[in-house]
Amino acid sequence: MSLVRTGIKLILGTTPNIKVIGEADSGEEAVDWCRKKQCDVILMDMVMPGIGGLEATKKILRYNPDAKIIVLTIQTEEPYPTKIMQAGASGFLTKGAEPEEMIRAIKDVASGKRFISPSVAQQIALSNVSSIDTESPFKSLSERELQITEMIAKGLKAGDIAERLNLSPKTVNSYRYRIFDKLNLKGDVELTRLAIRCGIVED
C-alpha cells in the first residue's frame, strides 16, 4: 500500500497543475481526512485496510455528494465495476493503467466528467444491456458480504475481520454463513477457490 502511494506521488509530483495534498493509510483515515479538508479529486484504493475503499467512498459521498472520487483497483470483473459506479464514484481506474491514463482520469474527473478505464468500460455497458445471464456468482452479495468475502479469501479469521470492520465476531460469522448459503458453498476453502477463479482476489 505504502509502495503504491509512493509511486503514484512520484508520478503526480512531476505533472504540471496537479498537486498531492494528503494521503491516508485506511478507509477510516480517508473519510476523516476528507471531512477536515477539501480537494479537487480523491484517488481511492479499493483494497485499503479497515472499511475499504468502496465503503469509504460511500461515506464520503454521504456527507459531501459533490466529492469527485476515482476508485483504483485490480478487480475489474463484475460485480466490482457496477458496484463502484453505483456507489457514486466519478471514475474507475485499474492498477494496470499507464501513468498517462491516470493523469487523464484525474483531469477529466476534475473537470466534471466521468472516467472509466477502456478495459472495463465495454464490460460495464454489456452488463447493463445484456439479457444473457453471464454475471458473477458474487453479484448476489451485498457490499458488506462482498467485503467480508474478500477478507476471508485473503485468509483473515473472524476475529481479525471483526476488528477491522468494528463488528462482533458473532456478526461476522453470521455474514459468513449467509455468504455460504447464497453461493451454495460449504466453507472458507470453497469460498476462497471461487473468489480466486472469479478474480475477486489474486492467487
CATH number at residue 27: 3.40.50.2300
The answer to whether residue 25 scores a pLDDT higher than 80 is yes
For 32, the grid coordinates are 476523516
Residues 98 and 21 in one domain: yes
Q: What is the reported pLDDT for 61? A: 92
Are residues 111 and 20 part of one domain? yes
- Are 101 and 161 part of one and the same domain? no
153 and 98, same structural domain?
Answer: no
pLDDT value for 109: 93
Whole-angstrom distance, CA of residue 127 vs CA of residue 139: 11
Per-residue confidence band for 133, with pLDDT thresholds at 50, 70 and 90: very low
Residue ending a domain, choose from 106, 129, 152: 129
| Structure-derived torsion over alpha carbons of residues 103, 11, 36, 62, reported in degrees to the nearest 10 | 40
Least trusted range by pLDDT, from 118-127, 154-163, 168-177: 118-127
- Is the pLDDT at 128 greater than 60, yes or no? no
Expressed as residue numbers, the domain containing 25 is: 2-129
DSSP state of 70: E
Q: What domain count does the chain have?
A: 2
CB-based contact 59:67 (threshold 8 Å): no
**Mean pLDDT for the chain?**
83
pLDDT given for residue 132 in this prediction: 41
Band of pLDDT at residue 173, cut at 50, 70 and 90: very high
Residues 46, 144, single domain; the answer is no
User: Which tens digit of pLDDT belongs to each residue from 180-197?
Assistant: 999 999 899 889 888 877
* Residue 1 clears pLDDT 70, i.e. is over it: no
Query: In this predicted structure, what is the pLDDT of residue 197?
Result: 79
Q: Is the pLDDT of residue 131 over 50?
A: no
Q: Specify which residues 44 forms β-bridges with.
A: 71
3-state percent breakdown (helix, strand, coil) of the chain, nearest 5 = 55, 5, 35
What whole-number distance in Å separates Cα of residue 192 and Cα of residue 194? 5
SS3 126: helix
Q: Are residues 64 and 158 in the same domain?
A: no
User: In the sheet where 69-73 sits, what is the strand order?
Assistant: 42-45, 69-73, 91-94, 115-116
Same-domain status, 104 and 22: yes
Within a domain: residue 202? Answer: no
Q: Cell numbers 477529466 label which residue?
A: 108
Question: Rounded mean pLDDT of 20-48?
Answer: 89
Contact criterion met (CB below 8 Å) for 67 and 60 = yes
24 DSSP assignment: -
**Residue 110 pLDDT:** 93
